[in-house]
Amino acid sequence: MDQVVANDIWDVLHELGCEITRAELNEAKSKYALERDKRVRTDAGAQYVPTIDGKFANFGKDPWSDPEFSRPPLNDHCDVIIAGGGFGGLSAGARLREAGCETIRIIEEGGDFGGTWYWNRYPGAMCDIEAHIYLPLLEELHYAPKHRYAYAPEMLEHSQRIGRHYGLYEKACFQTAITAMRWQEKEKRWLVETNRGDRMTADFVVLACGRQSLPKLPNIPGIDTFEGHTFHSSRWDYGYTGGDSDGGLVGLGDKRVAVVGTGATALQVVPEVAKWAKELFVFQRTPSTVGVRAQQETAPDWIDMNKVGWQKARRENFQKRSVGMIPKDQDEIRDGWTAAFHGLGDIGDVEVSAALGRALTKEEKGILAEVADLRLMKELRERVENEVGDSAVAEKLKPYYRWFCKRPGFHDEYLQSFNRPNVHLVDTNGQGIEGFTKDGVQVNGDHYDVDCVVFATSGIPSFLR
């Protein structure tokens, strides 16, 4: 970009009170590039191992339903078949029922409705978007979430509430997976086959397969040689840990536990395990951003639920604030997400353009976006410094990338967990775990003896199996 133009915009930013300098931005971009290059991989999907069958099939089994369940095959017809019983499938079923659709069948691999919140029952699990926005059909069911960010048991219960209210249990097929689906031109209907021998038909099919139905394991050398206990966070083993989704993991009192992963799930898992484990080792490839969640109970009058269309209006307010369509003084949500959006939009194109007396170039708009993002990321890194007592640990927990390069996270206890004497951060410098042995984890040539490994790694969509 032309040097004179660059000087102009940096002069304006300085006059407007922006503390970020061009040198600081360039330094940050260099740091970001260095951190990114550490993590670039060429193995793509090969970095994961399947949990459908083979040696890791146990990771994908459903621990919440009856393994002996069976039923006769179905050979009937429905108006609509919906694939998936999570929020998407339930919402589709509800709206179809409201529209007068009589026979609706939801086919769900789990043992009940709930989707993500059927599978994910790990301690501390909660939604990341305000529950009054996130949970579907609150207005229709006259239900007020108990917390600003609903915990997993409440979201599972709400899923079941939707199913009962709209009569979606009547024809639902649980513990059932679709194996084939074909359009029959002559009959003008769909033929749907399942792993239970069903050959059912429907006039319409709705795909609501979701994203988090099957655990994803990292393909780390020796992963199958570890002789201790292992499980995935989305199939939490309370038989081993004790307790329930509220905590009380008394079975970990004499255990050295490894948590693999530091994404959104780990932000919720780590604080709970930290309270009970003899020792906890958190293995980190890339730190997450950890904004303030400010979790709290919500009274029934948290918002005015008597106003028709209140939930749709609240969702639209959040979405519009997210993309800068409304000013921050019209933000009705005022949470960590919208606070971040405020920060990203504080340096406005219009204000800078007016100060320059001309329209901004594409390059100048890019500079404004980078400056706003750097200010936000500096605040998040400063929060790490303020919350983590050990400066060396704090430095390793600082995220060096732009805000949306990794899923933004929010939590009120995650960073503070590393102040506990029994909690140890094992930073892999972007490389990930080197390998497993029969009794532990190898990183950078160092060996960590552990009794249990919890994989807090992502799930994958059922349609990608």
Supply 311's token pair: 């939930």
284 vs 297: CA distance, rounded Å: 31
b vs e for 364-397, b when ≥16 Cβ sit within 10 Å of the residue's Cβ?
beebbebbbbbbbbeebbebbeebbeeeebbebb
Distance of CA 302 to the CA centre of its chain: 25
Query: Which pLDDT belongs to residue 388?
Result: 98
- Write out pLDDT tens, residues 59-88: 999 999 999 999 999 999 999 999 999 999
- 96 φ/ψ angles, rounded to the nearest 5 degrees: -65, -40
Q: What is the mean pLDDT of the chain?
A: 94
Stretch 203-225: mean pLDDT: 90
312 vs 137: CA distance, rounded Å: 10
Query: Which pLDDT belongs to residue 460?
Result: 45
Is pLDDT at 236 greater than 70 in this prediction? yes
Q: What are 104's strand-pairing partners? A: 80
Q: Is residue 347 very low, low, confident or very high in pLDDT (cuts 50, 70, 90)?
A: confident
Q: Is residue 361 very low, low, confident or very high in pLDDT (cuts 50, 70, 90)?
A: very high
User: What stretches of 323-434 show up as alpha helix (H) in DSSP?
Assistant: 336-345, 349-356, 362-387, 391-397, 414-417
Element (H, E) at 322: helix 310-322
- Write out pLDDT tens, residues 291-341: 999 999 999 889 999 999 999 999 999 999 998 899 889 999 999 999 999
61 vs 235: CA distance, rounded Å: 8
Stretch 130-153: mean pLDDT: 97
Side-by-side strand order, sheet with 435-437: 435-437, 440-443, 446-449
Using alpha carbons only, give the angle 228, 230, 236 rounded to the nearest 5 degrees. 140
121 vs 64: CA distance, rounded Å: 10
Is pLDDT at 7 greater than 70 in this prediction? no
Global confidence as pTM: 0.94
Query: Which pLDDT belongs to residue 212?
Result: 65
Query: Which pLDDT belongs to residue 9?
Result: 93
301 vs 425: CA distance, rounded Å: 41
SS3 374: helix
Query: Which pLDDT belongs to residue 214?
Result: 82
